[in-house]
Amino acid sequence: MKTIVFTKQAAKDLDALQDIDRDAIVFALSEYAISGRGDVKALSGRKGYRMRVGSFRILFDEDKLTILAVYIGRRETTTYKKN
């Protein structure tokens, strides 16, 4: 299992969500950390990955032991330009 770490901004983004959305995102990240399953794709044109959880996107980077969540927010045309 990989350790999930949130940047200060990602933690702030997560705290601002409703409980049901927050729970879904934490569950999806945990599932990915344990089994590697999830709607994850590599970002094109830059380093990192994105995970899709409903209408939310989690931008993150990972290595063998850690998943670093950088951004959590709704999918918009500017989602990938913010971070």
By mean pLDDT, which of 59-63, 69-73, 74-78 is the weakest? Answer: 74-78
Instruction: Express each pLDDT in 6-64 by its tens digit.
Output: 999 999 999 999 999 999 999 999 999 999 999 999 999 889 999 999 999 999 999 99
Q: What is the pTM of this model?
A: 0.85
Domains of the chain: residue spans and CATH: 3-76 (3.30.2310.20)
User: Which letter does DSSP use for residue 64 in this model?
Assistant: S
Q: What is the C-alpha separation between 48 and 60, in angstroms, rounded?
A: 6
